[in-house]
């Protein structure tokens, strides 16, 4: 079964080392790379605090719309959530990886 997200809710606040952030990022990169559609490149691209978009921005970006989000305005960020997003696009002519 294909999935579109992985979420982890810790029972208590945790401290994450730089090495652990790097390992987590590397794992997501590996998952993205071996799940790349033919003729495309797929990579881990966004790392940091989880963005919280307005309803308008969510619709524009094709993200799930939070009904409690403001109708429009600049995004805010949830610093309690480490967020990684991947990007995928068609491979350019002559591009190998």
What pLDDT, on the 0 to 100 scale, is given for residue 95? Answer: 83
Burial label for 11, CB within 10 Å (0-12, 13-18, 19+), is: exposed
The CA-based diameter of the chain, rounded to the nearest angstrom, is 48
**Blockwise average pLDDT, block size 10, the chain, 97 residues:** 89 96 96 94 93 94 89 93 94 83
Distance CA(51)–CA(36), nearest Å, equals 25
Exposure of 26 by Cβ count < 10 A (0-12 exposed, 13-18 middle, 19+ buried)?
exposed
* pLDDT of 97: 64
């Amino acid at each position: 079964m294909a999935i579109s997200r992985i979420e982890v809710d810790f029972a208590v606040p945790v401290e994450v080392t730089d090495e652990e952030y790097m390992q987590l990022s590397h794992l997501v990169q590996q998952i993205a790379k071996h799940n790349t559609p033919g003729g495309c490149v797929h990579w881990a691209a966004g790392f940091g605090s989880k963005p919280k978009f307005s309803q308008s921005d969510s619709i524009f970006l094709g993200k799930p719309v939070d009904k409690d989000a403001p109708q429009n305005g600049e995004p805010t960020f949830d610093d309690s959530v480490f967020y990684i997003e991947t990007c995928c696009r068609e491979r350019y002519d002559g591009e190998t990886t």
